[in-house]
Structure 1
């Protein structure tokens, strides 16, 4: 029997887009004579509808779309995901349509409630074994914990989080009920390395534990702004991997078909995978697809970037270039241009970048020729439009006004932070003007390490509407840039990769560097790991980091981290929307909540001094 998964690139509440993608995927599956097709979790509405899942009308509209979709399901069995409201409560369902008839709706039994997920806010978990009958028009439809018989093949569901619950997985009960096939429609967010775990622990292990074929189908793309879906489709049988698709497609849908022999599993088709799990490549593909979806779904006319010549802004520029390179590779130059709202043209990738990315170097008397050259050379290498101007006259005007108001001259000895911040903030209005002129998305360049300790100027370098690298540590960004130069051929990074990270906000003779202001970035990343990801106290962090330096120095670094973390929560609350890219991020909207006002770990840091 031919079994298939179809990944679709959806948008919350975009009924025309979502239903068209589903119908097109079904049409392709029928052309390939597929018997059973699994589409992702909540594929009708989109996964990211947030509090709209609590409204009656959204579920009603989703049901109307399902009725349209079933007309295209003749001669095939299809699972589509949608929310279902019962007595004022929303459930997450997989609706099974076979040969135009709705056989039933299976509901999700476990809800994701950690990390980026807040599902219990919108959905209730469905109890095991419970089955009800829903009245929809003149139809009576079974719903709940169901299994289905399709041409003699018994089929059941684990819906996303169901498959991650180890010993509690519904698959154990499905095995006891004799299923031959488990479908797992998912909206499983991207994080570096997660696909490997998903493949091994959810799909292969599930197929082995439950002695069946197991099909996992994920959503695709940057659906709602923050989370990215890789479009993973994975099929295994009795512990053997049969097929894995190539992830991060720029197409509206992808389908993976495999011929599964349920009577003789050894005779099932095995399809070699062309996907890669290498961390840097995986990350690049994820951000490229996320930027592609963000610019076209927001209907913006491209991107604007304040390109300083430093690591972070350079990474953002290269990610935009990779979006174009990879998009053209899959869609062709004309096809890519049309998808992002540009007039179709058979341009080179550099010419297309020039139509989408505008950069500006905003220098001051504290800027070096090294960073200017790094910015200019990089922009030229990728084809971006490049402007350069200085902001000293505006900084001077602001400074003179405040000096007149307070009756004294500002000095670096007394007003260091003030004099640094005014430069960063002065850059903001003019770069916003450029973004408004182009009707473009203004990219901010803060990384996760800066978010940890507030090493960013609010309304300055944090200004913008999208923060593509706010989910990455500075350590990762620096090594990624070296990798991009060596492995992706971005030779325009050679000056960037030879510079020491610096804000360039103090006079040049003061030799400002980021690590002198903060601490070594590698140490900061290790403290973040234990303090934020593992949620350890200052003393516990110290026990894990004693090896990185002298005790007094290590304690000083840890103290600085916790103090800066505590007083800068308000900054993290205002970071522009950011992509979730790793096992951790510090965006309070999608991973790490922390009070704006707190004790600042006062007693805990006293205990650290005594440790």
Structure 2
């Protein structure tokens, strides 16, 4: 087999951005040709973007994608290009890869297996293709082969598995490609980011290249494409069970090109990062893409001095740090669409001040500790910082209700009401600050609070996006200590010295989050089994009583509390602001876990637990 140069090109696409999507693909082709690449593979659905949702169901959208393919073909002289797009045939839509060789369309390969787990819902839009079936498709007056086929370039015989195709065990197309004696398999993918997922992909590429005795090239989409899912832009090459190449993930660039020689030698392998660093990289890119694609001018954050809002403030600062480092100031600002002329010797910190506005909204129940924590962090990051109290607004609402019902509200009788009005009173004024600056309001809910409804609707849940709603609080508390040291964020020393608290009750009542709920470490263990693994309350108990050193009666109480609060608060999860999918699972009913808003609340299952 002659040694040739191939490449994977990851692109940051956006649904309905036809011109931008086309230009990014074209630019990558130009760069690949300049590097003498002979075969270039783009990710799954690169022409439209993977997150086009029900646009795929329309007639006009796949037709326009085909038209874009036709426009692309003339740019593919002296190179072979594989690019993903949807194709409608009568009443069915197929997820395909088009192969263009020297400006001539050679055929379409159709995806055979649909991703239907977690954040994926492909059966809603696409029909799986049957193995070994090939038909003719009319395209620009020619009949083009369509279906399950392979291709040849010089003496290279190659084929495709499209994303989910590769994850279907012995049913996967790779086994049939092996029987056809291919030398190279491409896997164009739209595989969502999740912390620690790269290790799984590496295992897949090593297993596939050894089992099928081929070169195996994996190419993923890049960026926060459509709001929730993040694509990491991973490109991998393996042969004979050995990883030969891997790129740096989560780039701020429009596209990345990674070239390979088809030779069994290592060609540069970027390391797999720690979970803590992956969280920073993915969140930073997601915030960057969301900001520029929404055409907003910055972020506004109600900075309480606690763990959640402090995490988000640091993530915005890291967005600036990392984008600035990778793109340079001029390109970073240009991509954001803002005007910025630095006036100090620290343009990075100055730019944080342009993009992030924070406010501490205190009440008579707030402490000096949280105020000092918020102020110190904002100043260390360079964010704008305001502070005011909302006691006047809280008292106004409270007095109106007291006059209407004819009695005073008390903490003994009206605890939740008096807590919630404080959180809700913060919302209107922080929204004003966001509206004044055409900015995105950042909501501070985390996944653990989403599990049990420990959040005030129209209060701390208010926002345009909720960056950490898919991340558990236990991890966030650990990450803040890690970030203080490893990201050189000394302003976190204050928040890391505090015990998490909502500060909605009078200070003498010593409110803490874990006192209100249960230890966050326990919530993580229960949700892992109950939500991720979909176990019953009894299953959760039987497993955790063996795993945790905790009194059985206490464990039962925690489990009952979790399931009751989970059932009662589905309506809150339905109304959470859009959140980034960052972990192996989340509780957003729009993307991962659907649950009835009204239910029996596990009544019988929890009674059985009591009787055990």
- TM-score surpassing 0.5? yes
1:20-99 to 2 correspondences below 5 Å: 20-99=23-102
* 1:544 CA displacement: 1.4
Name the structure 1 match of 2:414: 415
Structure 1 stretch displaced more, 160-169 or 285-294: 160-169
Q: In 1, Cα distance between the equivalents of 2:416 and 2:109? A: 58
Contact kept, 8 Å, 1:196 with 1:277, in 2: the verdict is no
What are the superposed Cα offsets for residues 469-511 of structure 1, whole Å, 9 maximum, x if unpaired?
Answer: 0010000000111111010000000000000000000000000
Larger mean CA deviation between 335-344 and 20-29 belongs to: 335-344
Q: Structure 2 residue aligned with 1:141, among 144, 151, 157?
A: 144
Q: Which among 332, 341, 346 is matched to residue 345 of structure 1? A: 341
What is the root-mean-square deviation of aligned Cα atoms in Å? 0.8
Distance 2:9 2:447 in 1: 34
- Aligned partner of 1:452 in structure 2 is 451
Q: In the TM superposition, what whole-angstrom CA distance separates every residue of 1:166-203 from its partner, at most 9, and x where no partner exists?
A: 211100000000101101000000001111101112x1
Show the counterpart of 1:315.
311
Greater CA deviation, 317-326 or 61-70?
61-70
d(CA) in 1 for partners of 2:504, 2:47: 50
- Post-superposition shift, 1:91? 0.2
**CA–CA distance in structure 2, aligned partners of residues 13 and 158 of structure 1:** 26
Measured after TM superposition, the shift of residue 273 of structure 1 is: 2.0
Helix, strand or coil for the counterpart of 1:97?
Answer: strand
Could you tell me which residue of structure 1 aligns to residue 574 of structure 2? 573
Are 2:589 and 1:609 aligned?
Answer: no
Distance between the aligned counterparts of 1:269 and 1:538, measured in 2?
A: 51
Q: Give the Å deviation of 1:151.
A: 1.2
Helix, strand or coil at the partner of 2:203: helix
Distance in 2, matches of 1:381 and 1:48, equals 37
Counterpart for residue 499 of structure 2: 500
Match of 1:272 among 265, 268, 272: 268
CA distance in 1, matches of 2:477, 2:511: 18
TM-score (norm 2): 0.98
Give, in angstroms, the shift of residue 344 of structure 1: 4.4
CA offsets 1:588-610 (integer angstroms, 9 cap, x no match) = 00000000011100000000001
SS of alignment partner, residue 71 of structure 1: helix
Matched residue of 1:49: which SS? helix
- Give the distance between the partners of 2:269 and 2:315, measured in 1 at CA: 25
For residues 299 and 265 of structure 2, the distance between their equivalents in structure 1, rounded to whole angstroms, comes to: 44
Q: How do 1:341-380 and structure 2 match up within 5 A?
A: 341-346=337-342, 348-380=347-379
- Counterpart contact for 1:4–1:38, Cα < 8 Å: yes
Report the more deviating stretch, 336-345 or 595-604. 336-345
Q: Give the drift of 1:408.
A: 0.3
Counterpart of 1:264 in structure 2 is: none
Kept in 1, the 8 Å contact 2:214–2:239? The answer is yes
2:523 aligned with 1:524, yes or no? yes
Residues 361-400 of structure 1 aligned to structure 2 (within 5 Å): 361-400=360-399
Show the counterpart of 2:510. Answer: 511
> Residue 275 of structure 1: CA displacement?
3.7
Name the count of aligned residue pairs: 604
2:160–2:187 contact (8 Å) kept in structure 1 = yes
1:205 aligns with 2:204: no
**Contact kept in structure 2, 1:338 and 1:344, CA below 8 Å:** no
1:17 aligns with 2:20: yes
**Secondary structure of 1:247's aligned partner:** coil
| Number of the residue aligned with 1:265 | none
The residue number in structure 2 matching 1:101 is 104
* Matched position secondary structure for 1:161: helix
Q: Is 1:288–2:291 an aligned residue pair?
A: no
1:300–1:440 CA contact under 8 A, matched in 2: yes
Asked if residue 225 in structure 1 is aligned to residue 227 in structure 2, the reply is: yes
CA offset at residue 582 of structure 1?
0.6
Q: Which runs of 4+ in 1 moved over 4 A?
A: none
1:548-567 deviation per Cα after TM superposition (whole angstroms, max 9, x unaligned) = 41111111000000000000
Q: Any gaps of 5 or more consecutive residues in structure 2?
A: none
1:324 aligns with 2:320: yes
Whether 1:473 aligns to 2:486 is no
Uncovered stretches (5+) of structure 1, i.e. residues with no partner: 262-267
Give the corresponding residue for 1:243.
245
Kept in 1, the 8 Å contact 2:244–2:269? The answer is: no
Find the residue that maps to 2:51 and give its secondary structure. Answer: coil
Distance 2:61 2:6 in 1: 30
Partner Cα separation in structure 2 for residue 344 and residue 90 of structure 1: 45
Question: Whole-Å Cα distance in 2 between the matches of residues 406 and 141 of structure 1?
Answer: 75
Please say if residues 333 and 345 of structure 1, whose CA atoms lie closer than 8 Å, have aligned partners that are also in contact.
no
Contact 1:403-1:409 within 8 A present in 2 as well: yes
Question: Distance in 1 between the 2:335 and 2:55 partners?
Answer: 28
The match for 2:130 among 127, 132, 152 is: 127
1:237 Cα deviation after fit? 1.2
Displacement, 1:137?
2.5
| Corresponding residue number in structure 2 for 1:588 | 589
